[in-house]
Amino acid sequence: MFTIPEHELEFRVSRAGGPGGQHVNKTATRAEVLWNVARTSLLTEPERQRVLQKLANRIGADGVLRVVADDRRSLLRNRLAATERLIHLVDAARRAPKPRKATKPTRAAKRARLDSKRKRSNRKRERSRPEWEE
């Protein structure tokens, strides 16, 4: 599993909405995790390019990836949730897609396709009006 060292992460806190009643209005429980994708040494250059491309809508012009969590009532839980989300996002984005293996249809599949076409053609031909022969 991919891990990001704590010293590369920057945390910000603010007041959150959601559950918590009056507690939410008084305390900063919303956690925001920032990670600089452009300057990190954890990613190889191809991985960095994949992450920058796949997560472009979450990465700012300065190359910083931002993930927010405010669904829990405590700052610690939101901070852990945001960090976990960030790690999962980056881990999924950095992986290269599996190369597609070209396959050929089997003989039976070809036969079935052609039989189906033949049946459909016959059905349509039978629906049409017969031609008059004289």
Does a structural domain hold residue 36?
yes
Side chain identity, residue 128: S
- Give the SS3 label for residue 76: helix
Does a structural domain hold residue 72?
yes
Give every strand in the sheet of 64-69, ordered side by side: 9-14, 30-36, 64-69
Across-strand partners of 14? 30
> For the chain, what is the domain count?
1
Residue 132's pLDDT band, with cuts at 50, 70 and 90, is: confident
Does a structural domain hold residue 125?
no
Digit-coded pLDDT (tens) for 84-107: 999 999 999 999 889 999 999 999
Does a structural domain hold residue 122?
no
Highest mean pLDDT (candidates 2-11, 23-32, 64-73, 106-115):
106-115
CB under 8 Å to 51, separation ≥6 — which residues?
37, 43, 65, 90, 93, 94
Q: Provide the residue range defining the domain that includes 16.
A: 6-94
CATH number for the domain that contains residue 55: 3.30.160.20
Q: What is the mean pLDDT of residues 51-62?
A: 91
